[in-house]
Every structure is written in structure tokens, then in C-alpha cells.
Structure 1
């Protein structure tokens, strides 16, 4: 897939070339004219530089097409191909200005072939300077394009990775919910089965409409989480107790969409579902300086496989995916830590505290 890289100044490469090409030769004309005046030449002497500069501008256009044709060839071969055209360009420039120069300096006519040869080389430094600048700018532009392409490709890869991590969770959740609906149907609990289907439809509609790359406010995230909890409350009824404690300042904080859902799903699966009496799920959000701290806590049996900061294998898909999403989006600024409590498990997320205002001012990480 091709990636279009716009020029930082909004100019196409062709426009930029013509601006530099014509500007350079106009500068040559102006400097030559001022130099002539400094040496006491009459004003009409500017015609010499006008003829020389116009010829140089035309011949270097030919050199440009030749350089483009040689692009990609070995440097030694390029040098061998360009030697004669560069000499010819210098000779044509000298030839174009010679007749006008003789009107002001009759003694400036070459006396022999050797003198004429050296006269022909008098403008070679100008042509070499043009070739050097053209090659330098071309290679610099190519280097910048490659850098921008690499950054664009890395951004696309991060986006694809984030979408994979988000969508990987949906089949797992959908499988559990459909199993629960099937159980309700077999138990002839049609009212709750219908209620769960409607709740599932609302949650999936929200999930599919939300972009994994989009960040939402904590209030929007909690609204989405409520759709999910409505489904689980049909399954567990009074066995599922949910408490929330959100600092007022945190409602406007931005975070990746559906970040908390897999953590809540894990807590329900391993804490609430495994206890006959059910369990308590607590969701907290607070601000700690420039950090947003989110905590999901349950009062279940905890996780015996949890060792320090190492997440459990096998059953820790939701935790690992959430940690990976934070890493891709925030680098070292986004962390997930899980620890066993005396009764239950605590999962704590920390990420930069950002709102739509701070994000627009460019406070979001750009080296992701």
C-alpha cells in the first residue's frame, strides 16, 4: 500500500525545484551585475550575465533530466556519464556571453585554442555548484521521505496492533454471553433471555461503532461499561454487586475506548462466578498529579498464579492485552499492575491524565 507523504511547506517536489532553480539563477544574475558595477563596468554589462545565466538555466535543465536518468547507478558510472555534459554546459554559457562581453572588452577574445578551452571552463564552478546542490537536495529529500514513510508505516503498524488487541477480546466475551443466553433458554427463563439479548445487542452496537484508536472520556467509558454490566446482572442478579468511586475531576479524562471492560470481565469470571454467594466489584478513578489512576478490585479468591509483576499465563488474556494496549499507546507512561489482596485481586492502571483541551495543545505522546 502506497503512503502519500506531503511536503512540510505544502509544495510539490516539482514546485520546489522550479522555485530553487529560477531563484538560484536570478541570484547568479544579481551577484554578477553587482560585481560588474563594483569593478566599474557600465550598466549594460548586465546583459552578459543575463545571457550567461539564461543559458545556464536552460542547460542545467538538461543536466537535471540526465541526473534523474542516472539515479540508482553506481557513483563512478554517474561521474563518467556527467563529465562531458557538465563541460559542455560550461562552454555553452561562456559562448552565450562572449559576443556581448567583446562589446565592452574587445581584447577579451581568446588568442588560441588553449585560451578558448580555459575560457570554456570559466563557468564550470557554477555548473558544479548547481549539480552539487541538486544532488544534495535530492538525497536530503529522499532521506526525509524515507523517514516520514517509516514513521507512517510504524503508526499504521501500531494502529493494526491496537485493533487486533481490542477485537481479540470480543469473541471471548461473546462466547460467554451466548452460553449464558443458551442456559436461560434451556431453563425456559425467556424474560431474562430476551433481556440479555437486548443488552447484548446494545453493547455490541456500541462496541462496533467505537474506533479502537479513538479515546473517550471516562464518563463515556463508564456508560459503555454499564451496558456490559447490564448483561452480567441478568446472569448473576443479586450475586453481582458493583460499587464505583470516581473523583469529579476524572470524568473528563481521556482513555482508550473499552479499556476497563476486559478487567471487569476477568473479575466477574474469576471472583463473582466462582463464589456461591457472588462477589463485590469496585471501580475507582482518581487523579494523582498528571496521572490518571484507575483501579478494579474484587473480593474473590485472588490469583494464585500471580507472581510479582508477572501476569498469569493462559487465563490472563484480558490483563495482558490491556497492558499491551497501554504500552503501544503510552510507552512507559502507561502501566498495569495486579496484586493479591487479603480477600480479592486489585488491578491498577496508570496513564497520563489528559483531557480534550490538553490533547489539542499537543501534550499527547507522539513517539508511540
Structure 2
């Protein structure tokens, strides 16, 4: 079975395949066109010799055209026209020799225009060969330019995603280190030590995950649990987290640490503001071909404008929307709304995807 992708990627192999196939096709069409004229074996020999001559004579054109393609427009046009005419004239001479010496056994026509007609036909064939050569070459150049543009776009896209992911680390570190600093100031060294230990585990987990690749939801939950252990050192029983994760969603792919900024936001603006603490609900369920993720709190709430929280200097939540847009284009939804009876709810809808390895299992 022919691997067409490898054939088109290898220019040398593609040229010889098309070059040989084209001249074989010429011989077949020429024979079919003259089938009613002559079916003798010697006529097949003449056609084969003509096709072989055309195959050999047009090979130098490839290297001439390759050089001409690097020249200015007028020089290229002159080179192409002159070389095509020279090859066509030489091929016409060889075809005349094959026809009059082999097929007609030395007979010569009285009318000179029969030679001229053969030259015109040869020139038409060489011009067609040249047109196909430049057409395929230009198509390959356009494809290469598209591939280079796509590669550059992909690299820029990946760099943007990495920037968005790593932008969360300073934001998270600032909040956590500030809490550790406070614990040290009040000489609660035991609690500070516990936070440093859990922070180390969380950062190790975070750095091990490629920001470009999506991860199963179960791994995202593990990361959130590590993060929540850090926060529970600060809030103890004041922080209550309830998980409602559908079994069939555990293997669904999600962007790494996509929920952590939402939970961090809920802790900072809801749980920390409540004297007796509060609750955070994390929900994951499938709906058709989509994965639905929700994070809600029962805090005092906040003002929402144009679907966004009205808070200055926020990094986490706008960052999430940018990441989702980069990964899923328009095939996602990100909604911030008021929770009932109180608090804020962030809802995310993304395509339900699983890894190929899970599909094979």
C-alpha cells in the first residue's frame, strides 16, 4: 500500500514517480489514440521509443528550471522558453527518426510541414510537462510556507499557554508565603512548618505537569487536595470542601490546575471573610459530549459585571478564561454567577475528552 504522505514529503521520490508515471501515461494514451490506425507490434516499439526519449530529454529540464527559478522574472522566462523549445526540437528529431526509419523503413514524405507538425506536437508536450513541474513545485512551496506558519503559530500558542500557567505560580506563592510569614510573626512555627512541607509537595506536583498537556480530572483533584491541605492548615475546621465528582468523569481530560485559581479565589473572598468559615462545592458531571465543572461557595458574594467579578488586580479568573480560549477556541463556556442562597458560582463547560490510551482500554 502506497504511503501518500511520505511520498509527497520526499521531493526526490515524488519527482521520479510523477515523471515516470507521466511518460508511461503518455505512451498508453498515444497507443489508445492510434489503435484504429495501426495495431502492429512495430508501432508499439515506436511509441515506447518516443516515450523513452521524452523521459530522458526532460530530465535536464528539472535542473535547468531549478536554476532558473532563482533568477529574476525575465531571465527565468527566457531560460524556460529557450530550454523547452530546444528539448522539444531535439525530441521531434528523435521521433522523426523513429517514425521514418523504423516504422516507414526509410520512406520520406514529400511535404515538409509533416516535420513541422511533429515539432509543434513535441513543443506542446514539453510545455505541458513544464507547466506541471512549476505547478507542483509552487504547490509544494505554498504547503511548506503553510507548515512553517502553522509551526510558528503553534509555538507561539504553546508559549502563551505556558506563560498563562506559570503566571499562576507567583500569584499562588505570594499568598501562601504571606500566610507563612504571618504564622512566623505570631510564632506559630509548627503550623508554618506544616504549610512549608505541603507547599513543597504541591509545587513539585505542579512542576511535574506539562502546562501544554491536559491531564485526567482525577489528577487535577489530587492537585487540588494538595492545595487544600495547605489552606486547611490556616483555616482548620473553618474550611469545608464537598466533592461531587461523577465516576465517568474521572478520566476526562482537563487543563492542569484549571480549578485551583477558582478555589483560591473562593477561599480569599468568601471563606476568609466568614467568622465561622464556609463551604466550597466542587462538581463534575458529563452532559452529552461535554464536561461540566462547577465551583461554588456560600460566602457573602460579590458584584458581577458582564459575567466577570468586579475586582481589581485579579489574575486567576481572567487567566482561566484566556487559557480556555487558547485550548478550545469557541468550543467552551465560562460563566460567573450568583450562587443560591449566597455566594459565587463559577461554571465551566469544555468538550468531554479522554486519552487515546483510555479509549484503547
- The match for 1:339 among 337, 345, 355 is 337
> Which segment is superposed worse, 323-332 or 276-285?
276-285
Alpha-carbon displacement from aligned partner over 1:231-267 (angstroms, at most 9, x marks no partner): 1111222222211222233223221111100111111
Deviation at 1:58, TM superposition (A): 2.3
Deviation at 1:174, TM superposition (A): 0.9
Aligned length, in residue pairs: 354
> Is residue 219 from structure 1 mapped to residue 218 from structure 2 by the alignment?
yes
Helix, strand or coil for the counterpart of 2:276?
Answer: coil
Are the aligned partners of 1:192 and 1:234 in contact in 2 as well (CA < 8 Å)? Answer: yes
> Is residue 153 from structure 1 mapped to residue 152 from structure 2 by the alignment?
yes
Alpha-carbon displacement from aligned partner over 1:153-189 (angstroms, at most 9, x marks no partner): 3332222221111111111101111222222233332
Q: Partner of 2:19 in structure 1? A: 21
Deviation at 1:129, TM superposition (A): 1.3
Q: Partner of 2:293 in structure 1? A: 294
Alpha-carbon displacement from aligned partner over 1:60-109 (angstroms, at most 9, x marks no partner): 22211222222265655433222221111111112223223223225763
Alpha-carbon displacement from aligned partner over 1:204-234 (angstroms, at most 9, x marks no partner): 1110010112222221111110000111111
Unmatched runs of 5 consecutive residues or more in structure 2: none
Deviation at 1:50, TM superposition (A): 3.1
User: TM-score, structure 1 length as denominator?
Assistant: 0.87
Are the aligned partners of 1:216 and 1:256 in contact in 2 as well (CA < 8 Å)? Answer: yes
Helix, strand or coil for the counterpart of 2:334?
Answer: strand
Distance 2:223 2:336 in 1: 23
> Is residue 85 from structure 1 mapped to residue 83 from structure 2 by the alignment?
yes
Unmatched runs of 5 consecutive residues or more in structure 1: 1-6, 362-368
Q: Partner of 1:330 in structure 2? A: 328
Q: Partner of 2:202 in structure 1? A: 203
> Is residue 124 from structure 1 mapped to residue 100 from structure 2 by the alignment?
no
- The match for 1:9 among 5, 8, 31 is 5
Distance 1:197 1:40 in 2: 94
Distance 2:82 2:113 in 1: 18
Q: Partner of 1:242 in structure 2? A: 241
Alpha-carbon displacement from aligned partner over 1:139-162 (angstroms, at most 9, x marks no partner): 222223333333333332222221
Are the aligned partners of 1:272 and 1:279 in contact in 2 as well (CA < 8 Å)? Answer: yes
Helix, strand or coil for the counterpart of 1:259?
Answer: coil
Distance 1:224 1:347 in 2: 19
> Is residue 139 from structure 1 mapped to residue 138 from structure 2 by the alignment?
yes
Distance 1:117 1:248 in 2: 82
Distance 2:24 2:224 in 1: 66
Q: After the TM superposition, which residues 36-115 of structure 1 pair with which residues of structure 2 at under 5 Å, given as runs? A: 36-40=34-38, 42-71=40-69, 77-103=75-101, 104-105=103-104, 109=108
Q: Partner of 2:180 in structure 1? A: 181
Alpha-carbon displacement from aligned partner over 1:282-302 (angstroms, at most 9, x marks no partner): 211222222222111112222
Q: After the TM superposition, which residues 251-290 of structure 1 pair with which residues of structure 2 at under 5 Å, given as runs? A: 251-290=250-289
